[in-house]
Chain A
Amino acid sequence: MSETKPKDETSPVTDRLLRVLLPIVVLALGVLLWELVVRIGDIPPYVLPSPQLVFSTLISDRAVLLASLLVTLTTTLEGFLLAAVGGVGLAVLFNQSRLVEYSLYPYAVILQVTPIVAIAPLLLVYLPQPAAVLACAWIVAFFPVLANTTLGLNSVDHNLVDLFRLYGATRLQTLFELKLPAALPHILGGLKIAGGLSLIGAVVAEIAAGSAGAGSGLAYRIVESGYRLNIPRMFAALLLLSLAGIVIFFALSLLSHLMLRRWHESAIVREV
């Protein structure tokens, strides 16, 4: 009688290979289907460009597109860093002072739940365009960092808190040696969410600015291409934006993995 390997006992190498290959296969099939639909249906490029056309547009317009990508990415990165610092900083401040927390936390919530699409035009009135885009990226991204960091700071093992008290730890020592390290998995979770959201915030602001005719980021290029009916370029720009989002996600996942892999359950592969 031949032995059959149970489904969850595939070797780790095979598992990782599958994890990478299968989505690529699906992508290839999808692109192939798209190309076939355009060719067979003889769809004009200003309605649905073929993958081949999108790709060649990407190559031919690369100077403009890459410059715009750089602008968007720079704004996203700046917004993300400010959101990370601001979110963690505010969470620490709230954790240390109940008065400050009670006073300001409701406004953080309000800022988060008000749709950014509605705030962006207002910011564009008051601020110069680059600053407005940065502000939008920040507003959208800081709350997840704040909320997750707060959760982490409040989830410290109470026995460890007692231990620190027993040995006469100062407030700062408790914050840096206990609370922040204990909150790290939560902070990193918040940052992963914030990364993608910074991009969204930047894009929303750029599109709002683009409707007014100003800007130089990738989302602005999409709006501009739309007005000029340059649909292939729209697709190319959108493709670049998606890639940017994917890279941001993977970069933050890698960061999270590197920081947690020695000790946190979420980053460790258990040998059963």
Chain B
Amino acid sequence: MPAVEPSFSEYCNVPVDPSKSPVVALRGVGRTFANGVVALERLNLEVWPGEFVSLLGPSGCGKSTALRIIAGLSEPTSGAVEWLEADAANAGEPRRIGFVFQEPTLMPWATVAANVRLPLKLAGLGASAQARVDAALARVGLSGFAQSYPRELSGGMKMRASIARALVTEPELLLMDEPFAALDEITRFRLNNDLLGLWQSLGKTVVFVTHSVFESVYLSQRIIVMTRRPGRVFTELSIDAPHPRDENFRTSADYAAYCRRVSEALARASAAMDEP
């Protein structure tokens, strides 16, 4: 098969609305680490306002690296990250991004409330903090645990606290790096539903990195499938099932069909580099 780089529109089978601008776009982004590992190469992707998009790919394909580049935690070695320019009112302010890591990443010496308050405290917004912290905790169902310490919480609760912290600054963009990977299945399903509920009620844009076909199909409107390292977009698939989704969707024939399509795409993406 010829190694020709398809342009974004050629492999994107998700209809693109030309009147809307993406929240953020990665254009030809490459990332090579100091030890010579090429994590990403000529990666093109766009994130549309208000959508729930998943980055799906085999382990080591660079999806976490791509997420970190979007978050500004990592600089691309080539290419550019373009942001939708916010209106003039908050042009000078730092972009509000929420990031949820694979581990809850809570400060063990601080209470849950203090952990959730951290982003506001770092921004110097101590005054209005309490109300926003309380609201964030209520949204994830942890109101009764504000004064508890992280070690007193279960894995699922710690992850909720991490999500509350990501949401407390009311970010434009919520980035999640395999947040539920370390949790048991029951907790994972619950948190999936809670996350969808939050997304719908708050209208955030969510970029969700996962290696799970099932999770990406259940949660997203659009799935970007990445190739093996060096990572590039292999294809995109849209999941047209309407939101709100619930456990009925998980056991429906449509879900199974989507999972099959996505699994096939993932298998081809994983094999892509093996072709001559």
Interface of A is mostly: helix
Q: Which residue of B lies closest to A163 (CB)?
A: B105
Given contacts A262-B149, A263-B151, contact A178 B107 (CB under 8 A): yes
Of A14-22, A23-31, A164-172, A229-237, the segment with at least 4 beta carbons within 8 Å of chain B is A164-172
CB-based nearest B residue for A184: B109
Query: Is B121 close to A, CB under 8 A?
Result: yes
Q: Is the pair B73, A165 in contact by a Cβ cutoff of 8 Å?
A: yes
| Interface contact tally, CB-CB below 8 A | 52
B4 contact set on A, CB distance < 8 A: none
Whether B97 contacts A166 by the Cβ 8 Å rule is yes
Q: B108 within 8 Å of A by Cβ?
A: yes
Q: Are A177 and B121 in contact (CB under 8 A)?
A: yes
Contact present for B73 and A162 (CB under 8 Å): yes
Chain A nearest CB: distance from B132 CB in Å? 14
Chain A, interface residues (CB within 8 Å), range = 20 to 34
- CB contact list, A169-187 vs B, under 8 A: 169, 173, 177-178, 181-182, 184
Flag whether A32 is at the interface (Cβ < 8 A): no
Given contacts A157-B105, A160-B107, A163-B105, whether A168 and B151 have CB atoms under 8 Å apart is no
Per the bound structure, the CA–CA distance linking A264 and B169 in Å amounts to 29
User: Do residues B149 and A166 form an inter-chain contact, with CB atoms below 8 A?
Assistant: no
Interface: A159 (CB within 8 A): yes
Contact A168 B122 (CB under 8 A): yes
User: Is B99 located at the chain interface by the 8 A CB criterion?
Assistant: yes
Q: From B68, B72, B103, B109, name the one whose CB has the most chain A CB atoms within 10 angstroms.
A: B109
Instruction: Please indicate the chain B residues that have their CB under 8 angstroms from the CB of A177 in the complex.
Output: 118, 121-122
Among A242-272, those with CB < 8 Å from B are 262-265, 268
The answer, yes or no, to whether B48 is at the interface (CB within 8 Å) is no
Residues of chain B within 8 A (CB-CB) of A159 are 101, 103, 105
**Pick the contact of B107 from A168, A181, A264, A268 — CB < 8 Å?**
A181
Tell me if B257 is interfacial: C-beta within 8 Å of chain A: no
Structural contact, A167 and B109, CB atoms closer than 8 A: no
Closest to A178 in B: B107
Shortest C-beta distance, B275 to chain A (Å), equals 36
Residues of B within 8 A of A165 (CB): 73
Q: Which of A138-167 contact B (CB under 8 A)?
A: 157, 159-160, 162-167
A162 surroundings in chain B (CB, below 8 A): 68, 73, 99, 101
Whether the Cβ atoms of A167 and B107 lie closer than 8 Å is no
- The answer, yes or no, to whether B242 is at the interface (CB within 8 Å) is no
Tell me which residues across on chain B come within 8 A of A164, comparing CB atoms.
122
Query: Interface readout for B105-118 with A: 1 if CB under 8 Å, 0 if not?
Result: 10111100000001
> Nearest residue in A to B71 (C-beta to C-beta)?
A166
Neighbour of B105 across the interface among A160, A173, A184, A264, CB < 8 A: A160
Question: Which residues of chain A are within 8 angstroms of B144 by Cβ–Cβ distance?
Answer: none
Asked whether A163 lies within 8 Å of B99 as measured between CB atoms, the reply is yes
B72 surroundings in chain A (CB, below 8 A): 166
Q: A164-B122, A168-B122, A173-B122 are in contact. List 9 more A-B contacts (CB 8 A).
A: A163-B101, A163-B118, A166-B72, A166-B73, A168-B94, A168-B123, A169-B122, A182-B109, A262-B109
Top 10 closest pairs, chain A to chain B, by CB:
A159-B105, A167-B122, A167-B119, A169-B122, A181-B109, A263-B149, A263-B108, A159-B101, A263-B109, A168-B94
